[in-house]
Structure 1
Amino acid sequence: MLRLCLSSLAMLAALPAFANDSMAELGTGGLILSRSDLIEMKSEDLFISRKQVRVDYVFANRSDEDISTIVAFPMPDISGGPDMMVAVPDNASDNFLDFRVTSDGTEITPQLEQKAFAVGLDVTGELQAAGIPLNPYAEDAYAKLAGLPDDVARDWQERGILMLNEYDDGSGWKTERTPLWSLRSTYWWKATFAAGKDVRVSHSYVPSVGATAGIGFFYDGKFQGDYQDYKHRYCMDPAFENAVRKAASRNANGVPALSEYRMSYVLTTGSNWALGTIGDFRLTIDKGDAAALVSFCGTGVKKTGPTTFEMRAKNFYPERDIDILILAPAGGEAE
């Protein structure tokens, strides 16, 4: 894809010294079909903002018979660890992205399958038998692990299900049993695609938005650190980089008064349907704040409003996923 960046910048307030507190985003995508050789994705209308992802599909059965099959939406895997710095919108809920789906305007209540894995092995049954939540981010996960019998905890530690995390919280050294397993969640439902008819499916969810206080690729007056990775992943161009320099020049300390927000959408699964392409593809990205900067990879992107940008394509082959970088004014609230 061509490298393209669209940016705008307003006067920004001064920002204190650069902070490196950072939370990672979880990549999330669209629907997956268990049988795809006869069902075509005629169109996909995708909207992405920091607050919501909405997707409207039109599917068509290319055969002469009705097809009943399974449609699935895989949630991003959640992995435990001592840092636990991953953006989970609602870690107290199994539906931690608030996933919702309709078919031809009728709301669907999908089934939810959840499994826990450690070192590639399924440990779902053991966690459930011990009363441990499958979500390593659950509020009571640590308390439940602390109550495990010592022999069970030692066995789980040897098998990579948990680890002992040692730290000093100011009152002396502590040792804490910490989740190491990963949660894999998939919503699924049965669907029938009638021969010769279009089926309209829509779903929405709250995205996982990674964030950093400050900018991790620009400091001490120049682009450095993870700059090359950012440039490749988000297709940052000279106009975007100049806007970052201008933001830095407006502060006496030379630090841009901007904070990072990162989103990822797994688009490449769209090639799994019949024909391997999306007949009519439309992408809308809303950066939320007119004063924010946004960078992502795309072709033929147009600005359609103060905060929105649109890309359209026919017979679109999704050769790469979508990674979006938003630099919002520090202390601002992007929609």
Structure 2
Amino acid sequence: MIRLNRGVAAVLAAILLAAPAAANDSVASMGAGGLVLQRTDGIEMRSEDLYVSAAEIRVRYRFYNRTQRDISTIVAFPMPDLQGGDEAVPLEDPLQMPFTTTVNGRRVATNVEQKAIFNGVDHSGLLRGLAVPFTPRGEATMQALAALPRPQIEMLIEMGLIEDRSWTDAGVRQLDLVPLWTLKTTHYWTQVFPAGRELDVRHQYTPAVGGSAGSVFGDPAMEAGEYASQAATRYCTDDAFRAGARRMRARGLYLTETWVDYILTTGANWAEPIGEFRLVVDKGSSRNLVSFCGEGVRKIGPTRFEIRRRNYTPTQDLSVLILTGIRFDD
């Protein structure tokens, strides 16, 4: 069920640290604090063909250098954030997820920049010095934190980087240190855009999706709460979506949510609006429900929905909610 009442796309992220999810390609420079996204007046994005699902993201671009000289620049592709705290996020480090880039059909090796960010501040150097992995979830990070001397743990707590949720069971203290920082990962490479020529650039990867073990949707007592209100803004959930969720519950299904985000706004960094833009969102199963914000959405298959635009300047990001029903055996 899809509400067609607002555009698919967030305000241009001028600095890489502001990018919360996978993103369109953008030209970049290497600043003192790492990669910085920039705008270019010499290269056009003639087309973007984007496929988004919980299992895979594929994107194909056609770039054109409209100048009379070759342009060599860093091209950056931010990956999904991994957030600490209580957020239902995947445990995998994005570096462990398959990611491929091709230019004119040839595989290109990308470099990777990772940063541990909390409240807009880069704490990568501190964590590196303490031998703590940047990934805010996972056994290796938990073990590294637990092995720190207590003064260093207290320092991280004081800085707000971790929260001590330890408890005592049968007189034995159980250590539970929860990282609160966010891991930001960006693939990047140096690309030459030949004068007066097009380049075909493609990315394919497994997204780091978020999700919940349950859902408020389909439960009238909970649908009036704050989360449902936030979801209505973020995913444009509407009456039809909520009615579908209630029907799923009436069939005895237990509902879970999957969230997929994609930053479109870095597509505004090129010389002109995107000439031809196509987005396909795939909900994975015809039994699932999907909701996302967009104008002119049309269904093109049992699980796929499409948006097409010409001369498109993205101004907001894409957030997709997939609702799945599970039947437990008695």
TM (norm. structure 2) is: 0.82
1:266 and 2:263 are equivalent in the alignment: yes
Residue 307 to residue 169, structure 1, CA distance change in 2 (3 Å): farther
- Tell me, in whole angstroms, the C-alpha distance in 1 between the residues paired with 2:40 and 2:236: 32
Matches within 5 A, 1:152-171: 152-168=152-168
CA shift for structure 1 position 320: 1.5
Segments of structure 1 that go 5 or more residues without pairing to the other structure are: 6-25
2:83 is aligned to 79
2:289 to 293, 300, 308: 293
1:192 is aligned to 192
1:53 and 2:47 are equivalent in the alignment: no
RMSD: 2.6
CA shift for structure 1 position 162: 3.4
1:98 and 2:98 are equivalent in the alignment: yes
Residue 113 to residue 308, structure 1, CA distance change in 2 (3 Å): same
CA shift for structure 1 position 221: 5.8
Which region of structure 1 is more displaced relative to structure 2, 235-244 or 295-304? Answer: 235-244
2:322 to 321, 326, 331: 326
1:70 and 2:71 are equivalent in the alignment: no
Matches within 5 A, 1:267-282: 267-275=264-272, 277-282=273-278
1:33 is aligned to 27
CA shift for structure 1 position 52: 0.3
Q: Over residues 66-125 of structure 1, what are the superposed CA-to-partner deviations in whole Å (9 max), with x where a residue is unaligned?
A: 1000001122333333x463224x23xx61442221111111111112233445443333
CA shift for structure 1 position 264: 1.2
Which region of structure 1 is more displaced relative to structure 2, 222-231 or 196-205? Answer: 222-231
CA contact (8 A) 1:28 1:266 kept: yes
Residue 138 to residue 87, structure 1, CA distance change in 2 (3 Å): closer
1:231 is aligned to 232
Letter in 2 for 1:78: L
- Tell me, in whole angstroms, the C-alpha distance in 1 between the residues paired with 2:236 and 2:83: 28
Letter in 2 for 1:259: T
Q: Secondary structure at the match of 1:95?
A: helix
Residue 124 to residue 234, structure 1, CA distance change in 2 (3 Å): closer
CA contact (8 A) 2:249 2:255 kept: no
Residue 60 to residue 258, structure 1, CA distance change in 2 (3 Å): same
CA shift for structure 1 position 48: 0.7
Q: Secondary structure at the match of 1:223?
A: coil
Letter in 2 for 1:66: D
- Tell me, in whole angstroms, the C-alpha distance in 1 between the residues paired with 2:180 and 2:215: 29
- Tell me, in whole angstroms, the C-alpha distance in 1 between the residues paired with 2:314 and 2:21: 16
Letter in 1 for 2:26: I
Letter in 2 for 1:307: T
Q: Secondary structure at the match of 1:140?
A: helix
Residue-pair matches, total: 302
Segments of structure 2 that go 5 or more residues without pairing to the other structure are: 6-19, 29-38
Letter in 2 for 1:85: A
CA shift for structure 1 position 133: 1.7
- Tell me, in whole angstroms, the C-alpha distance in 1 between the residues paired with 2:202 and 2:260: 20
